Chain A
Amino acid sequence: MIEIVPRGTMRPRIAILIPVIAGLAALLLAAVPLAFAGAPILPAYAQMASGVFGSMFTVTETLTRATPLIFTGLAAAIAFRARLWNIGGEGQLYLGALAAVWVGTGMIDGPPILMIPLVLAAGAAAGAVGLLGPALLKTRFGADEVVTSLLLNFIILIFVQMMLEGAFKDPMGLGWPQSEPILDSAVLPTLVDRMRLHAGFLIAIAVALVAHAVLAYTVWGFRIRAVGGNAAAARHAGIGVKRTILGVAIMSGACAGLAGVSEVAGLKGYLTSDLSPGFGYAGIVVAMLAGLSPIGVIAASLFVASVFVGADSMSRAMGVSSFLADLIVSMSLICMLVGGFFARFRLRRRTTRAP
């Protein structure tokens, strides 16, 4: 018989090492599907690496791809800290994008100094509302937020499609279901000449730092950690558990909403119903790889974005299905989960004791 034995307290160095090992393990495991697809293994990895680090362009592309992942990763990390299972990042992202398009395509116009904060605020508010719904259904009626936030993803996406074929449709769009372009004054400026990397990246980093400060140094952050650690004990200590959960929902939803704003106002310039290739779900992987730490989210986003950009480049060059990127990302989540287990426990052969 095999017995599970706790290892005692985890050293911080190990805590940082696990996601690194998990990420590397997932990359190594990718050799199996690569072999099945008949691609030469080593050149494929070389192509992946050069797809990420090959040039100024590829590096900025990776940072651009990391931007929405930082936002959705923060959304998941903050919510999961309080054990609020927000699986609705994808929907909240679209709500944020929808609000950005609503405010930013001609409702009002002004100088960028006014328009950019306005568009960001609108998107954050919309995302917050998107999670406040499931959070209220949880605190008021006890409805499981996993299910409600998940189902809302589908409702919101259909709603976006409806708006893009209706009120928000670009009359100049040649019949395509897409929104009007964001006004120039609301577009997030690019950071590097002739590259797509935009100010959304810096905003994402700033939000991550603020989230870290809030969680680590404020009473509010303490409440969130207390509710996540042991809701009953937190209630006993006089912490308003429901109020904390609603507050967390606002913070988390707002982060996911910002992902939508940054994609629309920073990258695409207009909204389509394929704005996000699953950034909301990938954000959950990011948050878990980050150990639910906001600073860790930045690093984990860079890893996941590298996998996406590198594997995409390799897929194009070698004719391997681009689902490989999703496969590697999902494997890194599972490796992280298993790695976390072996950091906390070890397996021991049970020796039969004399009675």
Chain B
Amino acid sequence: MRIPMANTALAERKFIVNAAPDRVWRLIGKVIFSVLPGMESMEILDENNFRSLLRVKMMGFEWILKLRGEMVDISPPEAFSVRLLLEGLGGLVKADQKVALAMTPVENGKTSVVCRATVEDMGFLPRLLLLGEARRFARSTFGAIEKRLQELA
């Protein structure tokens, strides 16, 4: 049973990076993938689409989720959004998420980065079981992105 949900927020994080938006833009793809070591078997279908497996620890277990990503909005160097379709447990778990990043120039050549994850559609069971875990995962990923960007800036 799948219950449509209208953009339930999973996580949001705002931070300032000591680098210009152009530099942040050039780093962001590599940073995202480097903070997700569990991203495996990645197949780049074209510049806007990829498929992969995502190995994550949730509720004390290791889960292997199928991931399909589609860049739905790319406006270099200010913003991009990626739609992520996650599927696991033989199709029992499905989630349609959107992750958006916005980069805005601020004073002294720095960049304000806003990361936002929302879930647009998630089955009843996954929502019951996994929404909290998905929130924790999104928060920790955004935290790791911030940490890595700060290191590199």
Are A and B a genuine interacting pair, yes or no? no
- Residues of A near any B CB (own CB < 8 A): none
